[in-house]
Amino acid sequence: MSLKKTMAQNIQTIIILTIFVPIIGSFTIPLAGLISKKARSFWSVLLALATTASSMLLIPFALRGGELAFRKVLGLGVDFIVVADALSVFMAVASSFIGALIVVYSLGYIGHEENQSEYYFIVLLFIGSMMGLVFSANLVFLYLFWEIAALACWRLIGFYRVREYVLKADKAFLVTFFGAVAMLLGFILVYAQTGTFDLTAMRGTAIPGIAVLLILMGMFSKSATVPLHTWLPDAGVAPTTVTALLHAAVLVKIGVYAFARLFCWTFRIPEGWQEAIPVLAVVSSLVAAAAAVVETDLKRILAYSTVSQIGYIFLGFAVMNPMGVSGSLLFILMHGLAKAGLFLCAGIVIHATGERDIRRLGGQIKNMPWTAAAFIFCAFSVIGIPPFGGFFSKFMVIVATVQSGRVWVAAAALFAAVLTMYYLFKVFSAVFMGEPAGHGHKEGTRSMVFVVVTLAVLSLLAGLLVAYPTKLANVAAGEILRWMK
């Protein structure tokens, strides 16, 4: 057997493990729970870390460039196809790593909650569905993993058995399901045109505007882009660990990944849509930033912030030049690290005080110094202050927008960044500065504080060592845009 063939088989094995370790492992969580609480916690963390480790094993291959596709014929014209390239590896590493940190944080955050076996089962299934989606190169399986993620999202948002919360979970499911059905119709139109669901066979294919519209509805609903965004702030009724998963690691990143895979890597879209999508992205960013400015609920402010920042990611991909695509990929990582940190810091504050209204908080830096420091570090990254990681990704997206000739769109994106600075500084001042509101509160368990500090430090290190993730992002951008040459 040749060395090249052996390497290809090894890569295939690693991809299969990355997808199915969390999916199959999730079904063993209840069994571990029957042994003991510690066994369940240990097994959950081990599965999450194993998923991250297996995805990281693909980094050397991804850095060398090129693609490997693996097929398993299943019949009825549907093949199980996975593709290993810099794009899929970048997304898998970023999502699984942040997801693993959130699982570790969960040990302290939900340690006294009921239904913990269900919680860890769905979280691991959620992460596994993301891994399946990022490696899938067949529209049928991409849609399948898309819907598994939607079901997991629905159950996690309604984790607390409260009628009001369950109704908001139902809202999230209905909005994203509506988008998914529209997207499926778009896939059917593409199949009617091409006769295949294989993305590797459709590269460079021009698709009609109606198919673009239908597929975009699925992407925008999943990524909570204006006007299909209202479900995401309402999802704040879920445990903070869940909202961190939704905003930073998995759910909203599904839409932007699908955009990159379908509209940058695979299809050619009509020129009218190439002009319209950057405008839609920056409008979404501005509207959400304005909503965050006037909001007073801590988790809803951060939720609107996510909607705003996702607009930047869409913008970078939509301008379809190398710097824009690289910037958006970096943005996925930098935003994931920092936004997970912000939500988990908010979780520590809410867990300790029982309060979410920033007008009723204050002076918490005296009770929670580590949390306050982690929050401001992560805020610096989301705002885009050098040398934090968020600066480089946001800078690249804005410069790429200027290079594409859309100067006023870049100016609007820059104004959205100013609004981001305003509302995040307002939150920090209201929550952590001033006189303490109420009695002294404990900062949180060691695992919770460890995770938020780790995310804050990584948000800084990602900027200081930005050349390393940028190298992989540049390789991915080159592969994504290869068919345009």
pLDDT tens, position by position, 106-164: 888 887 777 888 889 999 999 999 999 999 999 999 999 999 988 888 888 888 877 77
Mean per-residue pLDDT of the chain: 88
pLDDT tens digits for range 170-184: 888 888 889 999 999
**Domain regions of the chain by residue span:** 275-485
**Would you say 49 and 108 are in contact if contact means Cβ atoms under 8 Å apart?**
no
pLDDT of res. 2: 66
Say how many CA atoms lie within 13 Å of 238 toward its Cβ: 32
Beta bridge partners of 83: 69
Measured distance between the N- and C-terminal CA atoms of the chain, rounded to whole angstroms: 35
- Tell me the pTM: 0.92
pLDDT at site 252: 73
Cα–Cα distance measured from residue 25 to residue 380, given in angstroms and rounded to the nearest whole number: 37
Give the per-residue pLDDT at 426: 94
What is the rounded CA–CA span in Å between residue 54 and residue 61? Answer: 13
How many CB atoms within 10 Å of residue 63?
14
Map residue 343 onto helix, strand or coil. helix
pLDDT at 245: 74
Write the pLDDT tens digit of every residue in 280-318. 999 999 999 999 999 998 988 998 998 899 999 999 999
- pLDDT, position 111: 74
Counting as low any pLDDT under 50, the low residues of the chain are: none
